[in-house]
Amino acid sequence: MRKLLNTLYVNEEDSYLHLKGANVAVSVDHDDIGMVPLINLEGIVSFGRSGASPALVNECLNRNIGITFMSPDGRFLGRTTGTVDGNVLLRKQQYRDADDERVSTFIARDFITGKLFNQRWIVERFLREHPEANQDDFANLSVNLKSVITDVRNATNLAELRGIEGSAAKDYFAQFNHFILRKGTDFTFTGRNRRPPTDRVNAMMSFGYALLAHECTSGLAMVGLDPYVGFMHQDRPGRTSLSLDLMEELRSVVVDRLVIKLVNKRIVKPSDFEVRENGAVMMTDKGRKLFLTQWQLHKQEQLVHPYLSEKVSWGLVPYIQALLLARYLRGDLDEYPPFLWK
């Protein structure tokens, strides 16, 4: 199993990344404020505006360390990566399957099955741990999600599958505010919104989903798949469609759970967010740093992978699922095994 290395998250907006010996150095106003050995890194994610030096980019390409550039509010801007592992035959098979709607539907059904299964698991676990929560609405949601999984397994085309998934997502987010035990206007969730998010919960969700997409993109590239060619999400210039496919089953158990934890345990405060003139709500520098700290801690936590039955860290799950997808496309597995967490 691949070893989980560190991902360096650079949060300072005015930071500049450059090479210093065998290290990546972070400077602000020409003064170095931190330095990390490249040998310890598998990726760099920068939320700064100043970019990176050509020497650092070249060294990261040689070491196959991906550098992802994000806007301060978490919007994906671009990514540099070195040579792609795997072989051309795997990618050619991926392209053939992506052009075949029957095969694409077969694979996409597994992604959405994993998504709905994990959403239902979160609801069921929350009901057990918090009997004071809205039992009736959550119980109805759990029953509905279980029923929708059957509909997903019977879907015969992508349009039907997208319709089922969209309706289920609407029902899930309609009840999401019941997860918030910290009642009041500061962290009230009234529905999923983005581009831009207009409340604090959605701001954290959008930020977390952007980080998860980065992790999935890295995992897919590592196993030799093309992150831009998906099965459920249609091809669009600049969009990592396969990353969006892969992250569907991980959204709730990785990002949603973390957001619920940060709110209910009062780890985040209203002061960790700012409201802009257009109504957009964004995390402050302090808020992003807090979120990234909790994100890294979560990646290091251990679990038993439901398909491999091996103990792994959460940070390796996107890579493992990408590897299982590659094995299916190569014909080593009869079906892609979605991540069904219990």
Which residues sit opposite 238 in a β-bridge? none
Sorted by sequence, the CB contacts under 8 Å of residue 203 that are 6+ apart come out as: 197, 273, 281, 282, 283
Burial of 236 (0-12, 13-18, 19+ CB in 10 A): exposed
- Mean pLDDT is highest, among 63-72, 111-120, 281-290, for 111-120
Structure token pair of residue 51 = 């970019």
b/e 98-114 (16+ beta carbons within 10 angstroms → b): beeeeebbbbbbbbbbb
Contact call for residues 340 and 304 (beta carbons, < 8 A): no
pLDDT score of 58 more than 80? yes
Which of 73-77, 122-126, 151-155 reaches the highest mean pLDDT? 151-155
* Confidence class for position 18, pLDDT limits 50, 70, 90: confident
pLDDT of residue 46: 81
Checking DSSP bridges between strand 76-80 and strand 273-275, what pairing results, if any? unpaired
At 91-121, the pLDDT tens digits run 999 999 999 999 999 999 999 999 999 999 9
Amino acid in position 275: V
Contact 273, 284 (CB under 8 A): yes
Segment 155-181 mean pLDDT = 89
Q: Does 84 have pLDDT greater than 70?
A: no
Query: Does pLDDT of 154 surpass 60?
Result: yes
pLDDT of residue 106: 94
Which CA distances in Å does 88 have to 17, 62, 81, 84, 101? 33, 20, 17, 10, 22
The better pLDDT of the pair 75, 180 is held by 180
| CB of 81 closer than 8 Å to CB of 240 | no
Q: What is the model's pLDDT at position 73?
A: 66
Q: What domains lie within the chain, and their CATH numbers?
A: 6-80 (3.100.10.20), 88-330 (1.20.120.920)
Q: What is the pLDDT of residue 30?
A: 77
Whole-angstrom distance, CA of residue 299 vs CA of residue 8: 13
Residue 257 is predicted with a pLDDT of 92
- β-pair type (6-10, 41-46): parallel
pLDDT given at position 108: 94
Per-residue pLDDT at 86: 60
128 exposure class (CB count in 10 Å sphere: 0-12, 13-18, 19+) = exposed
Mean pLDDT of the chain: 85
Per-residue tokens: 52:
């990176």
Q: Are strands 31-37 and 23-28 parallel, antiparallel or unpaired?
A: antiparallel
**Higher-confidence position of 208 and 5:** 208
Predicted confidence band of residue 83 (pLDDT cuts 50, 70, 90): low
Question: For residues 6 and 214, which has the higher predicted lDDT (pLDDT)?
Answer: 214
The type of residue at 295 is W
Averaged pLDDT for residues 289-300: 89
Per-residue confidence (pLDDT) for residue 310, from 0 to 100: 87
pLDDT in tens, 209-251: 988 998 898 889 888 898 999 998 887 776 889 999 999 999 9
The CA-to-CA distance between both ends of the chain, in Å, stands at 22
Measure Cα distances from 47 to 24, 33, 88, 199 in Å.
15, 15, 33, 21
